[in-house]
A and B are shown apart, each in its own frame.
Chain A
Amino acid sequence: MRYDVTVIGGGPAGLAAALAADKEGAKVLLIERERKLGGILKQCIHDGFGLMTFGEKLSGPEYSERFIDKVLASGIEKKLLTFVTKIKKVKNEFVIYYVNREGAGHIRTKALVLATGCRERTAKQVFIHGTRPSGIYTAGTAQYYVNLMGEMPVKRCVILGSGDIGLIMARRLTLEGAEVLGVYEAKPTPSGLTRNIHQCLRDFDIPLYLSHTVTRVFGDDRLTGVEVMKVDENMEPIPGTEERIECDGLILSVGLIPENELAESLDVPIDERTRGPVCDQEYMSEAEGIFCAGNALHVNDLVDYVTENAWAAGKNSAHYEKKERILISVLPGEGTSYVVPERLNLSAPLNNVTMYFRSAREMRNAKLKIKIDGKTVFEKKYQVVRPPEMERLQIDFSGFSIRKNQTVKIILEEA
């Protein structure tokens, strides 16, 4: 079987990409490894999704199901409970090997959209030591137990990490009758959206301890307690600040890592900062025919941005033809931690480029500058920018007469 576009991943990114490509008349295949479509949104039963896309505050399932309805109505071919095992590039197309309950097979596709989402950082990756008891969960896993299986994984817990998932789970667990003793965050500032700090912690009087981390866990069978310590400016524990807290649950919300094993197996260059493939403004990676969207490209705060970027990626993948690209670099400069896309293709339309970027630190009255080879071509003021709150900007680059070998830089400075 041969397709024009194969989308790997049936979460919000994959759904939007598949719909967009189908709308452009491409022959699309959507592959999803779970039994149902919707990706991580299936378990995100809290609201706040879709303010931009639909003008409403929806829950995760509501948001994703609107797209699932469309996909089902569109007749787009899909393979559920199907796992991609390997991808090979053969001449100008890709061979995708998969397994599902029907067998092991493969299909051919001209273009590929990687919408594989991300995974959670683990306890060992943040150097938590001690015993190996039950009772330690990453926030997403705890969320699965509570929201999809209707089961309580903890009674009295500590949450490490003030990322959005941790904050959401603090509220969720409290509503379901657990005692959340506190949220501990290694950085000096919170990692999640400010409104979540208010809605999830302040509303329920859950204390937030900044510049603290969990270093050890105790308990031979089930968790009996954790050790927390204060950390210095390098996030290293300060000896002598050990404090032991008795609890039976530790929820970890210590970061998301884009899932790009398939991309790496195809030698697609990855941006070390975003941990997603380096892409141009059409969301094609530096590897011909491989597009990327959603959390696999970079970790998003708002699903609306995922839909937007995935829709564009899907649309572009439908029209993919192998053409010469003139790529120039877009770099995150002073005051920014990363920018997507990392490349501009001068042979493709430049008039409506959506840039996503994050500030390196909280800044008030900030000024954004876009420079080409050192010359400022665009400026914009921001009342406040914060690392947890990704910024989005639409720029018309066509008027800047960019030549190849030039470099674009994004800079943020406090005014």
Chain B
Amino acid sequence: MSSFKSKVKKIKALSPDIEVTEERGCIVLRGEVDNWETVVKAGRLAVDRKKYYGVINDIQLKGYQPKEKLPSEKDKLYDGARPDVLIIGGGLTGCAAARELSRYRLDIMLVEKGADVAAGQSSRNGGAVHVGINYSPSSQKNYFNYRGNIMYSRLEKELDFPFERTGHLMLIGAKWEKILPKLLVMNSKRLHIPGVRYLNREQLLKIEPYAPSWAYGALYMPTGGFTSPYKVNVALAENAVTNGAKICLNTAVLDMETKDGKIYSVKTNRGTIYPKLVINAAGVYADVIAEMAGDRTFTIHPRKGTDIILDKKVGKYIRTTEVKSPITVLGDGKKLGAAERIKMIKFALSHENTSKGIAVIHTVDKNMIVGPDVQEIPDREDVTTDRETTDRILREQMQVAEKIKPSDVIAYFAGVRAPTYEEDFQVRKGIFCKNILEAAGIQSPGATAAPAIGVKLARWAVDYLKETGPVERNRAFNPRRKGTPHLASLSEKERDALIKKNPDYGEIVCRCEEISKGEILDVLRSPLPVYTLDAVKRRCRPGMGRCQGGFCSPLVVQILAKEWGCSVEDIKKNTKESRILFRRTKEAGK
């Protein structure tokens, strides 16, 4: 039986209502089933990286109507624009590409449907900068993560964002589990990742004094670190804008017109754009965009993950990023027999394990984050949190971070990853469309890989544009971007000097995080101006502390209104429809 026929058999065994065909070098699934699990399982079974470009999984879920969140703006603001490059998506990947492209004298336009950059997954992950120890050497994940990880040291200085390379740890619970670290050390040598070594408990405690009591030892990976992903995203965006790129928020791509295997025009809610080249960095909608361009060879299956943020008071119990090894079994499981143990490990490594890869992370703001978990869902934008999930994550992670209590939780959030069924990045030139570059399937280690993906996309873009005309370097390109000073971390002398120059730096607005009016105004006046409460929160933290904006949001609303010369009723939380205030209480005041 051919491999195709055997695949068809396996998939039809899940549900006879699924049709499987081979088209344009892809394996295509169609039909209708009544549960999402089947859709995902079928997609996974269809994968064959050697034979196909990818899986096109168009199986419908009975009774499910996907609804995309779109901005409410409708005008012709960008109608008729003719950029050299149109980047779709303002996450880490899109903004990294914009920044790299701004090294050239090009008309660069980035459209983002959200109210701010980093509206999707780029602001919804824990910020780990990954080592890439378990990637296959031929994978794109390995290629881009390796380079991105190295780039972070230089980017931190150029773009002025917080980054700490404290290393990552994978904890094991018993002597026999040392086999896993041993294998990974071997893999690290294959992948040229330096410094990876096994630590015994004594050595582990020197790095993580609060490592859990059951930790027998750990795999230590010194090149791992953590950053603030949305701050990186903002830094990339601001630097791109300073160097000439244009970032258009609240702008969604609705459709495309293609002619002769090329994108001719791109229709948005703010007019039709005529780009020479399109870069698809659209996250969870990357396959939809690729489809519009006639270049789709992959499918995104949304994978939700929830994270929990804990108080700074417990941030001191984690210095690095800790993960329990997938083969470590805690609690009663220690008494298992070999067969049962193997079953547990198989489950731990399988797709069904919703806790795969949950980590305890020290953040740049000195909080602790635990998460994320894994949930396959049909809704690409379901970022709601629920009690059952946060309870479960907390319960499990309290075994790794033994000092935390439920009352230490200050916030929780969810994000949706954008993996393909091949579970690797899909960064490539267009196959069926001449003027598109795909940067799809960017799941973990997306934040680490993004800078490297940006470099690659820029090179391809310039190569493409050179085919039809000269592309000059941008001699005015300035790689440096100055972020807002974080006054609370300066010495008294430094702080005093800054305040004497600008008294607004001495007026504290957010008292939980000690953020001054000056820092907020800096953010409003940055190259990528900011108009919403959430955007201010993301950039300089008011609203992220203990009181979650209880004291400072009215103050920030007033600062925003004064700066932009509008009434406080025009200040929104993020989108245009997210009103904070309705009207004045008294008519006579109008």
Candidate in B504, B549, B579 with the most chain A CB atoms within 10 angstroms? B579
Let me know if B99 is at the binding interface, CB within 8 A: no
A122 CB within 8 Å of chain B: yes
- The answer to whether B24 has its CB under 8 Å from any CB of chain A is no
Chain B residue with minimal CB distance to A151?
Answer: B581
Evaluate contact between A151 and B569: CB separation under 8 angstroms.
Answer: yes
A140 near B578: Cβ-Cβ < 8 Å:
no
CB of B582 closer than 8 Å to a CB of A: yes
Contact B514 A83 (CB under 8 A): yes
Give A86's nearest chain B residue, CB to CB: B492
Whether B550 lies near A122 (C-beta < 8 A) is yes
User: A102, A138, A216, A222: which contacts B550 (Cβ < 8 A)?
Assistant: A138
- The digit string for B561-589, where 1 denotes a CB below 8 A from any CB of A, is 00000001100111111111111111001
B585 lies within 8 A of A105 (CB): no
Which listed residue, A145, A176, A215, touches B387 by the CB 8 Å rule? A215
Residue of B with least CB distance to A173: B585
Instruction: Given A129-B386, A221-B577, decide whether A150 and B585 contact each other with a Cβ distance below 8 A.
Output: yes
Contact A152 B551, beta carbon cutoff 8 Å: no
Least CB distance from B53 to A in Å reads 34
Q: State whether the Cβ of B507 lies closer than 8 Å to any Cβ in chain A.
A: yes
Q: Cβ of B385 and Cβ of A129 under 8 Å apart?
A: yes
B585 interface neighbour in A131, A135, A146, Cβ under 8 Å: A146
- Chain B residues contacting A237 (CB-CB under 8 Å) are 387
A103 near B506: Cβ-Cβ < 8 Å: yes
Closest to B582 in A: A152
A91 interfacial by beta-carbon distance below 8 Å? no
List residues of chain A with CB within 8 A of the CB of B385: 129-130
- CB-based nearest A residue for B389: A129
Residue of B496, B558, B575 near A149 (CB, 8 A) is B558
Find out whether the CB atom of A103 lies under 8 angstroms from the CB atom of B500: yes
Chain A interface main SS type: mixed
Chain A residues positioned under 8 Å from B493 (CB to CB): 104
Q: Which residue of A lies closest to B508 (CB)?
A: A83
**Cα distance A103–B516 in the bound complex, in angstroms:** 12
Cβ-neighbour of B506 out of A100, A106, A216, A261 (below 8 A): A100
Contact with A along B497-533 (1 / 0, CB 8 A): 0011001101110010010100000000000000001
A356 contacts B by Cβ under 8 Å? no
List CB contacts (< 8 Å) of A75-110 with chain B. 81, 83, 85, 97, 99-106
Q: With A129-B387, A141-B553 given, is the CB distance from A104 to B496 under 8 Å?
A: yes
| Total B residues in contact with A, Cβ cutoff 8 Å | 56
130-185 of chain A: CB within 8 A of chain B: 130-135, 138, 140-141, 144-146, 148-155, 176-177
Asked if A141 contacts B506 (CB within 8 A), the reply is: no
Neighbour of B577 across the interface among A131, A145, A222, CB < 8 A: A222
- Taking chain B's interface residues, is the majority helix, strand, or loop, or is none over half, making it mixed? mixed
Q: Is A100 a contact partner of B507 (Cβ separation < 8 A)?
A: yes
Q: Judge whether A123 is part of the interface by a CB distance below 8 angstroms.
A: yes
> A222 with B386: in contact, given A33-B508, A102-B506, A105-B496 (CB under 8 Å)?
no
User: Are A125 and B409 in touch, CB under 8 angstroms?
Assistant: yes
Is A195 among interface residues, defined by CB-CB distance under 8 A? no
Q: A377 → chain B, closest Cβ, in Å?
A: 36
CA distance A309 to B219 in the complex (A): 56
Query: Given A85-B514, A101-B503, do A123 and B548 touch, yes or no (CB 8 Å)?
Result: yes
Question: Closest Cβ of chain A: how far from B522's Cβ, in Å?
Answer: 16
Give complex CA distance A103, B580 in Å: 33
Contacts of A2 in B (CB 8 A): none
A186 to chain B, nearest CB (A): 14
Q: Are B492 and A97 in contact (CB under 8 A)?
A: yes
- In the bound complex, residues from chain A placing their C-beta under 8 Å from that of B514 are 83, 85
B506 near A222: Cβ-Cβ < 8 Å: no
Question: Are A153 and B582 within 8 A (Cβ)?
Answer: yes
Within the complex, the shortest CB–CB distance from B550 to chain A, in Å, comes to 5
A129 to B488, CA, bound (A): 32
* B412 close to chain A: CB less than 8 A: yes
Q: Please indicate the chain B residues that have their CB under 8 angstroms from the CB of A83 in the complex.
A: 508, 511, 514
- Chain B residues lying within 8 Å of A123, measured Cβ to Cβ, are 548
**Chain B residues whose CB sits within 8 angstroms of the CB of A105 once the complex forms:** 492, 496
Residues of chain B within 8 A of A216, CB atoms compared:
384, 386
- Residue in A85, A134, A177 whose CB lies within 8 Å of B580: A134
Residue of B nearest to A133 (CB): B578
CB neighbors of B among A207-223 (8 A):
215-216, 220-222
A106, B546: Cβ atoms under 8 Å?
A: no
Q: How far is the CB of A229 from chain B (nearest CB, A)?
A: 10
Whether B488 lies near A153 (C-beta < 8 A) is no
Instruction: Determine if A127 is an interface residue (Cβ-Cβ < 8 Å).
Output: yes
- Knowing A81-B507, A222-B578, the reply to whether A149 touches B568 (Cβ < 8 A) is yes
Q: Could you tell me the distance in whole angstroms from the C-beta of A140 to the nearest C-beta in chain B?
A: 6
B495 at the interface (CB under 8 A from A): yes
B151 interfacial by beta-carbon distance below 8 Å: no
Q: Which of B384, B503, B549, B569 contacts A131 (CB 8 A)?
A: B384
The answer to whether B390 has its CB under 8 Å from any CB of chain A is yes
A177 CA / B508 CA spacing, docked (Å) = 34
CB distance from A251 to the nearest CB of B (A): 12
Q: Is A271 an interface residue (CB 8 A)?
A: no
Interface assignment of B45: CB less than 8 Å from any CB of chain A: no
Within the complex, the shortest CB–CB distance from A38 to chain B, in Å, comes to 15
CB pair B572–A101 under 8 Å, yes or no, is: no
Q: What CA separation (Å) do A154 and B511 show in the bound complex?
A: 26
Given contacts A83-B514, A124-B411, A125-B409, A153 and B547 within 8 Å (CB-CB): no
Contact, CB under 8 Å: A99 / B390: no
- 5 shortest interchain CB distances as A-B pairs: A221-B577, A134-B573, A101-B503, A83-B508, A104-B496
Residues of B within 8 A of A (CB): 69, 383-387, 390, 409-413, 487-488, 492-493, 495-496, 499-500, 503-504, 506-508, 511, 514, 516, 533, 546-551, 553-554, 558, 568-569, 572-586, 589
Not counting A101-B506, A103-B499, a sample of 13 additional A-B residue pairs whose C-beta atoms are within 8 angstroms of each other reads A104-B492, A104-B499, A104-B506, A106-B492, A119-B547, A122-B548, A129-B390, A134-B533, A150-B586, A151-B569, A220-B69, A220-B577, A222-B577
Can you pick out 26 interface pairs between chain A and chain B where the beta carbons lie within 8 Å of each other?
A: A81-B507, A83-B514, A97-B492, A103-B499, A104-B492, A104-B496, A105-B492, A123-B548, A131-B383, A134-B574, A134-B578, A141-B553, A141-B554, A146-B585, A151-B569, A151-B583, A151-B584, A152-B585, A177-B585, A215-B387, A220-B69, A221-B574, A221-B575, A222-B577, A222-B579, A261-B546
